[in-house]
Chains A and B, each alone.
Chain A
């Protein structure tokens, strides 16, 4: 069997646009998947992707004697969820929110709280942003992460209030020091009940005095503080800009973000409307967007796991070690701003870690799992690329290099296939989406 020619270039054809949308929404853009979707209009595809049924996978409860291993168990569970999910966009967005509303194991420590937060991130991943902010503010892992438990009337702790404005909702320069101090007061009084591990409100620890937020004085509590922050015009812009940068291309100009932010605000901060505005915009399919996003290590690895689910978790430790070396210890971001992302994933050591992960994978993968429908060794290039979901994004130049590798290869077929897998995965195209 040979493949018909795939047109590769910027996003000019319907197929390339479908493949682009699939890559960005967490799917493996194989020929088969593209063919399944191609006959619908782009609008129909987008709506279908957004409105897909949302599963609610349940994280494992780690037994007491395995607590030491709790982080690894939860990481592996999430990676398996990303690999197996019927709704990749939901996991893609859950991961986005983990990058955004960060919390890290190294401070939170309890895997039960991190697991609970993961469920919350998924619950709101495509939901309402205002409601999301309200609930994440009293999410136990977040409360440990940003010291909300010590935020009490007598001695407010500003940590959460500051990050809420700076990183989670508004961006720097859109609030004053006074806003931070006043919001901290408004958010006092929440503690984690150690038995239920749920947030509880203690009126006696809450500062019920009047506060001034963004120039408006009132008796703010958690909900009205969140409302006041979310309704700042900077909020829709900040979130729209951040989602755009993760799904379309980095550093978008203001005029591109403005209409998306407007849609988002108009919808009452519905995340689905925000995504729809991005995916339906012409700019999303522009040259500037083509391959413009560097895959995070988790995306890079889950891409491989999706393509080879049978290999998947057999070498669990190697997968987690590889991710850490690539710079992404999942559920354990370096600080509250999350992973720097973008081209920061391409620093020398992290890139070498990707290449070496790909090498180890190619070395170990059972070959009966590697496609080889054609007898012509030349055809294996396309077969391997398609299996990895890279067929629609490999440049002619890179494909020529892979073909020339095949032609120079005098070893046996298994060695050639392993070499091809390794090279396809280290290709420049495989680092981006």
Chain B
């Protein structure tokens, strides 16, 4: 069943109207989803958080701006080193793969993304990006609300998946999105004879049925969910598709490889989240940042090649952000301190590649010497939700934000 996006939108909405279901899938499709099979070519979103505050100015580099070089005598990337994308901007030399994807028109680079009253605490700023609620503590994440609004009551055990370190992004009122580190460990092991395995599993299910002690209810829910989700993933885990080489000894690449496998298996997961950490370059940034960006670049490039190899590159969009950029002026330790706005990457076959948004001025800084954001991050979320996931962005993001013509 292969629908064009337009067909999909129209048919989806029609069924939705008839069935009164909140979500782009009709009843029949949901029956398939409960069995863990994606029956139609649903859109998939993969969100990658570059944790620690990636130095945006040394990622998408304003190489034609003298202020950049004046502010970073030790850290600036030379004009002849940057991978130029236009007359003003170039990518860090570690980002070879992204440069190629950009040249092929698959990569959108969105400049100056941030939010009002920037917070320079990692944790608060990550929370803000993950909850899409900048001004107060929210108890749900934006992907959690996406799941609440589109998948409540579907019984889908794997509506969203975190591969690697979890975060608030999937906090939800109704949906528990599992966290997987590796498939081999994501199962309940019992050694011994068949009948003993059955007895123990039976006892487990009974113990985790329900509890009348309030504090135990969350434990029984989580435990039962873990068991069921692991059974589902186990039936879907496939051999990696040969032909695509992921970088060795990179956890980030391992996680992306698993996501590609799960997408390839037809698992009914529509949103994935993973992280790459270590961007907090307060000191010795030059070498550390180059190494980490390389790992990032190689992982993302391999992932995209894998999706292409599986014929699935048109199914997925990858959104990559960091909780904040770093200060324009380098510090005395060969690093940079916490900053504000930064670039966001959006990758996919269906993405209109190019540069979007205005690069923040390097001379008109805020009172702390930081860039002023040009685009609210919720604009990007609204764009991928509404135009890619076909979901009600306003309700999920909590307001009406201008959408970019990325898709």
Q: Which residues of chain A have a CB within 8 Å of any CB of chain B?
A: 147, 150, 152, 154-155, 157-159, 162, 166-167, 172, 177, 287, 290-292, 294, 325, 334-337, 340, 343-344, 346-353, 355-356, 359-360, 363, 395, 397-398, 401-402, 404-405, 408-409, 411, 415, 419, 422-423, 426-429, 431-432
Contacts and interface: CB of A to CB of B under 8 A. Distances in A.
A356 B123 contact: no
Contacts of B196: 409, 411, 415, 419
22 contacts: A147-B283, A150-B282, A157-B332, A162-B120, A166-B123, A166-B124, A177-B368, A291-B215, A325-B181, A335-B123, A336-B123, A347-B226, A348-B226, A356-B188, A363-B191, A395-B213, A401-B206, A415-B192, A415-B196, A422-B190, A423-B204, A429-B216
Contacts of B212: 395, 397
Interface stretch (B34-42, B77-85, B217-225, B261-269): B217-225
A152 B332 CA distance: 9
B228 to A, nearest CB: 9
A150 B331 contact: yes
Interface residues of B, number: 57
Contacts of B218: 343, 346
Nearest to B223: A351
B207 A398 contact: yes
A334 B180 CA distance: 17
Given A349-B178, A359-B189, A415-B196, 8 more contacts: A155-B331, A166-B123, A334-B165, A346-B223, A352-B187, A401-B206, A405-B203, A426-B204
Interface in B142-195: 162, 165-166, 176, 178-181, 185-193
B70 to A, nearest CB: 16
Contacts of B188: 352, 355-356
A356 B215 contact: no
B8 interface: no
B211 interface: yes
A172 B124 contact: yes
Given A150-B282, A423-B204, A428 B216 contact: yes
A348 B219 CA distance: 11
Given A395-B211, A415-B192, A432-B215, A404 B226 contact: no
Contacts of A177: 120, 368
A428 B207 contact: yes
A182 B230 CA distance: 51
Contact of A428 (B162, B199, B211, B230): B211
B260 to A, nearest CB: 19
A206 B37 CA distance: 63
Contacts, number: 157
A154 B333 CA distance: 11
A401 B203 CA distance: 6
Nearest to A410: B195
Contacts of A337: 122-123
Given A177-B368, A292-B215, A432-B215, A348 B225 contact: yes
A163 to B, nearest CB: 8
Nearest to B157: A348
Contact of A349 (B51, B121, B180, B216): B180
B149 to A, nearest CB: 22
A157 B211 contact: no
A159 B121 CA distance: 9
Given A155-B331, A356-B189, A428-B207, A346 B180 contact: no
B332 A423 contact: no
Contact of B186 (A155, A158, A292, A348): A348
Nearest to B176: A348
A352 to B, nearest CB: 5
B21 to A, nearest CB: 26
A157 B181 contact: no
Contacts of B123: 166-167, 335-337
B203 A348 contact: no
B345 interface: no
A426 B122 CA distance: 35
Contacts of B223: 346, 351, 426, 428, 431
